[in-house]
């Protein structure tokens, strides 16, 4: 479990830094103590659901982005998407309609 908390904390820190916020400022914005923010980022504490919600709002990210731990190459993404779509008609339809909704040119 502690590895997961560390990964989550590292991801929160990465997002915070990408928004040019200090730990102190982020703690203030989500109304927690500065040491608590530090403990979250180092994996010593796991944030509550409420704290994660506040973090997502302040950092302007979707909650799932806190759990996106590994970067993939474009080829790796394509492989994983193809594997997921291979035997899942409903998912294939969702992806198809999403692409259409964002005006991605789909060739039949």
pLDDT above 90 for 78 = no
Which CATH number fits the domain that encloses residue 14? 1.10.260.40
- CB-CB contact of 51 with 12 (8 Å): no
Clarify whether residues 56 and 13 are in a common domain.
yes
* pLDDT, average across residues 22-47: 96
Q: What is the mean pLDDT of the chain?
A: 88
15 and 59 within one domain: yes
Name every residue whose Cβ is closer than 8 Å to that of residue 17 and which is 6 or more positions away in sequence: none
Q: In terms of pLDDT, which residue wins out, 64 or 57?
A: 57
How far is the C-alpha of 86 from the C-alpha of 1, rounded, in Å? 32
Q: What is the DSSP letter of 31?
A: T
- Residues 50 and 17 both lie in one domain: yes
pTM equals 0.65
Among residues of the chain, what percentage have pLDDT more than 70?
A: 92
Number of domains observed in the structure of the chain: 2
pLDDT at 80: 81
C-beta of residue 15 within 8 angstroms of C-beta of residue 61: yes
Range of the domain at 51: 2-67
Question: pLDDT digit string (tens) for 4-28?
Answer: 899 999 999 999 999 999 999 999 9
Lowest mean pLDDT among 17-26, 53-62, 71-80: 71-80
């Amino acid at each position: 479990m502690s590895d997961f908390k560390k990964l989550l904390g590292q991801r929160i820190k990465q997002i915070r830094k990408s928004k040019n916020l200090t730990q102190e400022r982020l703690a203030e914005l989500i109304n927690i103590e500065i040491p608590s923010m530090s403990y979250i980022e180092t994996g010593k504490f796991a944030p509550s659901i409420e704290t994660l919600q506040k973090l997502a709002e302040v950092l302007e990210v979707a909650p799932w982005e806190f759990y996106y731990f590994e970067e993939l190459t474009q080829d790796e993404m394509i492989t994983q998407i193809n594997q997921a779509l291979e035997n899942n008609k409903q998912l294939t339809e969702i992806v198809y309609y999403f692409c259409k909704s964002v005006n991605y040119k789909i060739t039949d």
